[in-house]
Amino acid sequence: MTKGKTDMFPCKFDHRNERQLDMFTDTIEFEYVKSVIGSGYEEAVAKLAIEDKVAYRAARKNMQIHSAIILKINNEFSGFFTFQVNHEAKEFCLLQSAMNLDKKDKTIYSQMVNKIIEQNTFGYPMIMTVSTKHDLECPKVFNAIGFETYLTLSGFEYMVYGKLEDVRMKRLAHATMTNAWTTTRSDWLKMKKEWNAKIEAAGEKYNIPNPKFASRDGCWQGSSGYSNVVLTKRVIEDGKVKTKKGKSFNGNASVLDPVACEVILRFFMPTEGKRVYNPFGGGVQFGYIAGSYGYEYVASEIRQNQCDANNMLCQDFENAKWIKSDSATFSPEGNFDLVFTCPPYYKVEKYIDYEGEIPDGEINSMQTYEEFRSALFAGYKIAMEHLKDNRFFVAMVGDSRASNGAYYGAEAETELFLKEQGLHLYNKIVYLEAEFTRLAQAKRILDYRKFPKREQKIIVAYKGDMSLIKGTFPAIGRL
């Protein structure tokens, strides 16, 4: 218990709703209670919580099981702040707070927060969600105490007293939340921009032009595809109408979204995990992110040019490597804690090596879908054999249409294959892309009763005992 006169000075915040405290005579006390229930303050907390409105949940019995700092001014109950220590997620959550309406004071309120900070003897990150509209429980007050905002959402700021990386998982969870990942939301795009800037910087450092799409120029096959609708422009040059390629170098290459990579890596890598295998390596994104987190990343990639570009870009990481190999026969060394792959979608892109050659064994160039599928599944099978028990196998898949217009059914066949191999189908995630290019396509193909494809699927399968998942993978904590 802390007792004594405040050493307050006139507060620099807005005092319109605050009483004028007499700083020489008021006695300010803070009392720690392990649980509101049983402390004798149940009724007072509930009453003030209801009056305060924002803190109304603190009136509930199931919230009063938590600890609190009780504020007393001149020996009278004048406010509270509830909190909860979560040892499983290793975090310290600040819950609800309120001060008597006629005693509101930002300096005393801040002292109450500091009293809570003193309770965190565990060194856990401290998290708090505040409203931009509240007078006390607001970003400005918490910022002044040393909290930092990691997410702004619908009038609320999610703040942390600690390191931003400690709450990264929460930020990723908020970006996804359900199995439909809308990749056009502002925080998703913000995080994507940050990763892309890092990849661009690595390209600059190691002289790899266009690093996000390195080795993929011209891989997009659809000459009448929607990339052209958006990216080409007709201009007049020397009195003649000419077609200019748009600003993109890649022609819509299907490189991975770095945020999707990060979410998959963080959610499906076990707490003790270290190694990731990708049987169809492709672009640099997944390896770059795995490398940034200090994981070992091994990818089988059949094109030397893609391996070279990626290995150059990731040379600052200890252990991220692309090995030129055919995943249908390549056996990576040792066992892995996560398999993640985004394989070719049959005939959607061309994969070309140095000298414009398509390497032998490249599965998209195979004559029939059936040949493609058996080489794809051969790569998957070896990957599964090298996956440890109680681990996830994640494949980002997209179906494509045969020349008669019908889908091949690659997504469904992938699910069935994984199931036949004894894995459990655990999540089916819809990865939703921007709509605008698809709208242009819709105008051309809806007459054929084809809806332009705007999504890809992320199939998450699990090898092992599903009852162990919660204990094997890191807790996410409060969202």
Ligand X SMILES: C[S@@+](CC[C@H](N)C(=O)[O-])C[C@H]1O[C@@H](n2cnc3c(N)ncnc32)[C@H](O)[C@@H]1O
Of residues 77 and 297, the one with the C-beta less far from ligand X: 297
In terms of Cβ atoms closer than 10 Å to its own Cβ (0-12, 13-18, 19+), residue 350 is: middle
Query: Taking the complex as a whole, how short is the minimal distance between the CB of residue 287 and ligand X, in angstroms?
Result: 10
Query: Taking the complex as a whole, how short is the minimal distance between the CB of residue 286 and ligand X, in angstroms?
Result: 7
Question: Which H or E run contains 444?
Answer: helix 436-445
Sign of CA dihedral 221, 225, 231, 234: positive
Of residues 95 and 429, the one with the C-beta less far from ligand X: 429
Of residues 82 and 285, the one with the C-beta less far from ligand X: 285
Cβ neighbours of residue 366 closer than 8 Å, sequence gap 6 or more: 372, 375
Query: Taking the complex as a whole, how short is the minimal distance between the CB of residue 60 and ligand X, in angstroms?
Result: 47
Of residues 49 and 382, the one with the C-beta less far from ligand X: 382
Complete DSSP assignment for 188-246? HHHHHHHHHHHHHHHHHHTT-SSGGGTT-TT-B--TTSHHHHHH-EEEEETTEEEEE--
Backbone angles phi, psi at 460, to 5 degrees: -110, 115
Of residues 135 and 326, the one with the C-beta less far from ligand X: 326
Smallest Cα–Cα separation from 180: which of 432, 412, 426, 461? Answer: 432
Pull the structure tokens for residue 188: 């998703």
Of residues 113 and 352, the one with the C-beta less far from ligand X: 352
Pull the structure tokens for residue 107: 């300096």
Query: Taking the complex as a whole, how short is the minimal distance between the CB of residue 367 and ligand X, in angstroms?
Result: 14
Query: Taking the complex as a whole, how short is the minimal distance between the CB of residue 380 and ligand X, in angstroms?
Result: 11
Of residues 133 and 193, the one with the C-beta less far from ligand X: 193
d(Cα 157, Cα 141) in Å, to the nearest integer?
12
Beta strands in 281-335 (DSSP E): 296-301, 320-324
Q: Are 450 and 405 in contact (CB under 8 A)?
A: yes
Of residues 45 and 284, the one with the C-beta less far from ligand X: 284
d(Cα 56, Cα 47) in Å, to the nearest integer?
9
Of residues 283 and 291, the one with the C-beta less far from ligand X: 283
Q: For 435-465, b where at least 16 C-beta lie within 10 A, e where not — what string?
A: eebbeebbeeeeeeeeebebebbbbbbbbbe
Query: Taking the complex as a whole, how short is the minimal distance between the CB of residue 338 and ligand X, in angstroms?
Result: 16
Query: Taking the complex as a whole, how short is the minimal distance between the CB of residue 297 and ligand X, in angstroms?
Result: 13
Query: Taking the complex as a whole, how short is the minimal distance between the CB of residue 122 and ligand X, in angstroms?
Result: 40
Of residues 288 and 295, the one with the C-beta less far from ligand X: 288
Query: Taking the complex as a whole, how short is the minimal distance between the CB of residue 236 and ligand X, in angstroms?
Result: 37
Complete DSSP assignment for 355-396? GGPPPTT-GGG-SSHHHHHHHHHHHHHHHHHTEEEEEEEEEE
Of residues 124 and 280, the one with the C-beta less far from ligand X: 280
Smallest Cα–Cα separation from 218: which of 30, 352, 410? Answer: 352
Residue with smallest beta-carbon separation from ligand X: 282
d(Cα 115, Cα 121) in Å, to the nearest integer?
12
Residues that bind ligand X (CB under 6 A): 254-256, 280-283, 285, 300-303, 306, 326-328, 342-344, 351, 361-363, 375, 379
Query: Taking the complex as a whole, how short is the minimal distance between the CB of residue 132 and ligand X, in angstroms?
Result: 38
Backbone angles phi, psi at 58, to 5 degrees: -70, -10
Nearest-10 Cα torsion for 162, 164, 169, 170: 70
Of residues 375 and 394, the one with the C-beta less far from ligand X: 375
Query: Taking the complex as a whole, how short is the minimal distance between the CB of residue 416 and ligand X, in angstroms?
Result: 21
Smallest Cα–Cα separation from 295: which of 271, 322, 267, 274? Answer: 274
Query: Taking the complex as a whole, how short is the minimal distance between the CB of residue 401 and ligand X, in angstroms?
Result: 16
Q: How many residues does the chain have?
A: 479
Q: For 186-211, b where at least 16 C-beta lie within 10 A, e where not — what string?
A: ebbeebbeebbeebeebbeeeebeeb
d(Cα 49, Cα 133) in Å, to the nearest integer?
17
